[in-house]
Structure 1
Amino acid sequence: MPNLLTMARLFMIPFMVIEILDGNFTVAFILLMIAGVSDGLDGLLARWLSQQTTLGLYLDPIADKLLLSTLFIALTHAGLIPRYVTVLVFSRDFGILLIATLLFATHTLRDFRPSFFGKANTFVQIVALVCLMAGQTFAIPGLKMVTDLLLKAIAVLAPLSAAQYAWIVIRRVNAPAA
């Protein structure tokens, strides 16, 4: 059941993109909220039903990252997110993915946990996307200003978290074997 919820979240992504590109932000926002609820629910159900699987361990963060990345592209294409923010987000994610893949493939480092700035970056990305989509759906005073500040924070946090990941990896790779 939890993996089915994750798969459903993946299945919703193209429909969110279609709705964004068609200017149907209310439907896209509703789908985003459903995806958010399913993300919380799949982890909760996996623990509650003791259905934690290796597939779920990998699939859930992939679904989350794919959802965020796809929304950044679609909303940038729609002119709602500055290109530089999306470029910084993708550059960070690509760099981390490349390094993690190389370290994993070479058996150099297998444990690649999120860093403090990485978690902060992801949290701010989620809040920014929710605010941006809510702002396209509802007339909420001051929400555009909040969204703009969050996007600027992402532009700082993305490279900062990439640098923190690099620092952590360099320290761990060069640490003496225990």
Structure 2
Amino acid sequence: MSERILNLPNAISILRLAAVPLVAWLILQQRWEPACWLFLAAAVSDGIDGLLARWLNQMTQLGAALDSVADKALGVVTLVLLTQAGAIPLWVTLAILLRDSIIVLGALSYRGMAGHLEIHPTWLGKTHMFAEFVLLVMVLADLARVLDIDAWLHALFVGVFIIAAVSGVQYVWIWGAKARRERAGET
């Protein structure tokens, strides 16, 4: 990895992170349309910064960390505030937060045991993040009256719940297998 810290992909990740409090404020003010458009722009920037990092050969460890933190901050803050506003059922939010907590705690436990940690998102993990962001954009668009998706919301909630659950189980399975291999290598 090239380690030039100040680069375009990292700047985009920093802007996405800076958008989180503004998205939160807009949601709290029930300014649904600007919240929707800002969230959408921030979500799209996630794909753009990664693409640019690879294309411009400007991948950095800082960029990878910023990208992950910005994604989680944007997703969790928006999810919790929309749940608090009554727009997303608690059971969907709890599934997503439980999945994320299990992944973080599992990764920290593995790092404590093995002394190192290399995280590579799975296809299902990326699908979960995409589905979660689509859900959040759609809920915001519905609240803003940009789209009328009331008839589809329950199916969307169920779909994201299932993807969160299956993705969480997949990560437990993968990290459990890695931990068993590490322990077997020690003996």
Same fold (TM over 0.5): yes
Return the alpha-carbon distance in structure 1 between the equivalents of residues 135 and 18 of structure 2.
22
Return the alpha-carbon distance in structure 2 between the equivalents of residues 42 and 69 of structure 1.
20
**Could you list the per-position Cα deviations for residues 53-111 of structure 1 after superposition, in whole angstroms to 9, with x for gaps in the alignment?**
11001110221111111110010011100111111111110111011012123326623
What's the % identity of the aligned pairs? Answer: 34
Runs of 4+ in 1 over 4 A off after TM superposition: none
Q: 1:66 to 1:117 in 2, by over 3 A?
A: same
Equivalent in the alignment of 1:38: 45
Equivalent in the alignment of 1:9: 16
Return the alpha-carbon distance in structure 1 between the equivalents of residues 58 and 164 of structure 2.
33
Return the alpha-carbon distance in structure 2 between the equivalents of residues 5 and 155 of structure 1.
29
- Structure 1: stretches of 5+ with no match in the other structure: none
Give the counterpart letter for 1:100 in structure 2.
A
Return the alpha-carbon distance in structure 2 between the equivalents of residues 40 and 88 of structure 1.
24
- Structure 2: stretches of 5+ with no match in the other structure: 1-7
TM-score calculated relative to the size of structure 2: 0.85
Return the alpha-carbon distance in structure 1 between the equivalents of residues 110 and 128 of structure 2.
23
Q: 1:9 to 1:146 in 2, by over 3 A?
A: same
- Does structure 1 retain, via aligned residues, the 8 Å contact 2:9–2:50? yes
Give 1:117's match in structure 2, choosing from 119, 124, 145.
Answer: 124
Equivalent in the alignment of 2:63: 56
Give the counterpart letter for 1:169 in structure 2.
W
Matched, 1:102 2:109: yes
- Does structure 1 retain, via aligned residues, the 8 Å contact 2:110–2:175? no
1:18-167 aligned within 5 A: 18-107=25-114, 110-138=117-145, 140-141=147-148, 143-167=149-173
Tell me the number of residue pairs that the alignment of Structure 1 and Structure 2 aligns: 176
Q: What's the RMSD between the two structures over aligned residues? A: 1.8
Give the counterpart letter for 1:93 in structure 2.
D
Give the counterpart letter for 2:167 in structure 1.
S
